[in-house]
Chains A and B, each alone.
Chain A
């Protein structure tokens, strides 16, 4: 039995390495995806193009502008002279944020009376707008507090917030994205490799030839899924190494544990790949079916948007999605360095899901023609 499976696996790899396009697809596209996600798909907001409308023209207002710039979040590119000009800059998309300091700002500060600053943010991209607003508040509040302190030189006891961000102290979205990319790449590669390798044989007529040999369905199934799993492990290691050494993504947990979790994650993925191969007659259908499954699983996984924000019914659907669990696992291993004592519910869920899907697919994966 193991002899036959071994020869099937060898055959798959001879075929894969003989075709340059397949080699490219299996080993280069994961890297391209990683670089795209690592560099392009970032939620970090830096150097926000800003307009600064200063009606006060005081030392204090200039000081505030300096602080906005030195924070690194804002780049003051325009100094408009009227409300109309601000309107224009925002409309044309030249600035994302406009700050207006009213006359009397410095006087109010000195007197210690409340003063107002007008902040206009382009809400077209709501996510970025929210982040920009947060930064404006932080910088202005920081400035206000300092002024206050120097003003009263209080000996009074005071309450001070000290915020500390755990696990990803710089709040780099890359650290959040790269582990997710590993999960997504394993899924896409393994789904495609599994379903295509079965359907291609059906299309070429070699499946019919294999079916008349004494090979058992389970041997054929393993012979088709093990190569995908090997490629999945390889891609996982490749993306991890590049992520850690090129993108400086920290990996706090054990690589061996990541490896074991990947093995459990592969169970449902290979099961779904086999299922797709049983419902597809041609390679085109297999690709279509793969993407039909792939797109919703990304949306319903917490890959980019938090599951907690989804409507209840969709939150329940995510429990059937293997990617959902594996994302928690990879992010936990990479960023928190946690192990099985914390992640066991996810590992268990993947295992149960995987065994169920594999059994259902295996039942459909018969050695007979219909």
Chain B
């Protein structure tokens, strides 16, 4: 193995999963480097959870292969399991066991030695602020605390790679911010984090993201680069008749996509100099435009524009 390969935490090759006649994952090729915080970003049903299960070797792919810390998911599942931590969407906690019993149980399953336990328990309970709630039943914790307990359990064996499947679903914004603070701390310890999310604001916190839609990765890059290189020029207009304006604009030539945010529209256009023509058409049509500016697209805009373009492509192709 050369040095570039040992630097790779996750690598997939034409990974594919089919359920009946539903293709859940379409030939995935992906590489995540050690120490990265990689975000798998896409709407519900895009195939995020399936990819998580394939990479954590609890589901067998239909074809293709993937290597986690250098071990194949096809026949080295057990070696992988020693090296990864995984937190499923529902945190995988026993609600009728206490915080401490949950952590101890996972420590038992991972075979953490009695000597190492006190220090690890203290550290995990400490960073998750769960120390005062050690004896509380997991079922009586708030959503944010459950999430942190789930994370603590997934970290009990100090894994090299951490897989988090939509960890912030159903968690309040303050706890979400806390959670991300913990993740950044973990990155400092050289842990690779592979996270899936449907929230695009969270995706912007990742070091690199892959946009996924209908089981296929549309693009992977740093969040800022994705916005940049996608280079979709975008204008934002404010109008009281946003709804009608949106319908009208989307029929115009050179418009890639239109998103509505209250009384504002984000219009993705093919070339920057089309902006003037679009504004003119709107005005001639009689829409009153209250504000107009060129903007840097948010990840959400990019995502929707990309999905739209891909769908157009498939229709034409």
Given A4-B111, A15-B97, A369-B78 contact (CB < 8 Å): no
Do B109 and A208 touch (CB < 8 A)? no
| Cβ-Cβ contact count across A and B, 8 Å cutoff | 72
Most chain-B Cβ atoms within 10 A of its Cβ — which of A212, A214, A216, A370?
A: A212
Which stretch in B29-37, B54-62, B246-254 binds the other chain?
B54-62
Question: Closest CB of chain B to A369's CB: distance in Å?
Answer: 5
Do B94 and A3 touch (CB < 8 A)? no
Name A208's contact: one of B60, B88, B110 (CB within 8 Å): B88
Q: A368–B95 Cα gap in the complex (Å)? A: 23
Which stretch in B100-108, B187-195, B224-232, B261-269 binds the other chain?
B100-108
Could you give, for residues 189-219 of chain A, a 1 whenever the CB lies within 8 Å of some chain B CB and a 0 otherwise? Answer: 0000000000000001110111111111000
> Is the C-beta of B181 less than 8 angstroms from some C-beta in chain A?
no
Given A11-B105, A212-B84, A213-B106, A369-B53 contact (CB < 8 Å): yes
Most chain-B Cβ atoms within 10 A of its Cβ — which of A14, A211, A215?
A: A211
Question: Closest CB of chain A to B256's CB: distance in Å?
Answer: 38
Given A212-B84, A368-B60, A204-B95 contact (CB < 8 Å): yes
Name B78's contact: one of A206, A208, A214, A368 (CB within 8 Å): A214
Do B81 and A213 touch (CB < 8 A)? yes
A and B contact pairs by CB, cutoff 8 A, 15 listed: A3-B111, A7-B108, A11-B101, A15-B96, A205-B90, A206-B94, A208-B53, A208-B58, A209-B86, A209-B91, A209-B106, A367-B58, A368-B60, A369-B53, A369-B59
Taking CB atoms, residues of chain B closer than 8 Å to A367 are 58
Q: A215–B108 Cα gap in the complex (Å)? A: 10
Q: A213–B82 Cα gap in the complex (Å)? A: 7
Given A205-B89, A212-B84, A213-B106, A11-B58 contact (CB < 8 Å): no
Closest 9 A-B residue pairs measured CB to CB?
A209-B92, A205-B90, A7-B108, A212-B86, A213-B109, A211-B58, A214-B81, A208-B88, A369-B59
Taking CB atoms, residues of chain B closer than 8 Å to A212 are 56-58, 81, 84-86
Do B56 and A11 touch (CB < 8 A)? no
> Is the C-beta of B93 less than 8 angstroms from some C-beta in chain A?
yes
Do A215 and B93 touch (CB < 8 A)? no
Nearest chain A residue, comparing its CB with the CB of B106: A213
Number of B interface residues at 8 Å Cβ cutoff, please give it: 31
Do A7 and B58 touch (CB < 8 A)? no
Given A7-B108, A213-B110, A214-B82, A205-B95 contact (CB < 8 Å): no
Do B92 and A208 touch (CB < 8 A)? yes
Interface positions of A from 55 to 85, Cβ below 8 Å from B: none
Nearest chain A residue, comparing its CB with the CB of B59: A369
Given A212-B56, A213-B110, A369-B53, A11-B97 contact (CB < 8 Å): yes
Most chain-B Cβ atoms within 10 A of its Cβ — which of A3, A204, A209, A367?
A: A209
Do B97 and A369 touch (CB < 8 A)? no
Question: Closest CB of chain A to B75's CB: distance in Å?
Answer: 12
Nearest chain B residue, comparing its CB with the CB of A370: B59
> Is the C-beta of A164 less than 8 angstroms from some C-beta in chain B?
no
Q: A214–B60 Cα gap in the complex (Å)? A: 16
Most chain-B Cβ atoms within 10 A of its Cβ — which of A4, A19, A214, A216?
A: A214
> Is the C-beta of A18 less than 8 angstroms from some C-beta in chain B?
yes
Q: A367–B53 Cα gap in the complex (Å)? A: 12
Given A14-B97, A212-B58, A369-B58, A205-B111 contact (CB < 8 Å): no
Name B96's contact: one of A7, A18, A214, A370 (CB within 8 Å): A18
Taking CB atoms, residues of chain A closer than 8 Å to B84 are 212
Question: Closest CB of chain B to A263's CB: distance in Å?
Answer: 26
Nearest chain A residue, comparing its CB with the CB of B54: A369
Taking CB atoms, residues of chain B closer than 8 Å to A3 are 108, 111
Q: A100–B203 Cα gap in the complex (Å)? A: 96
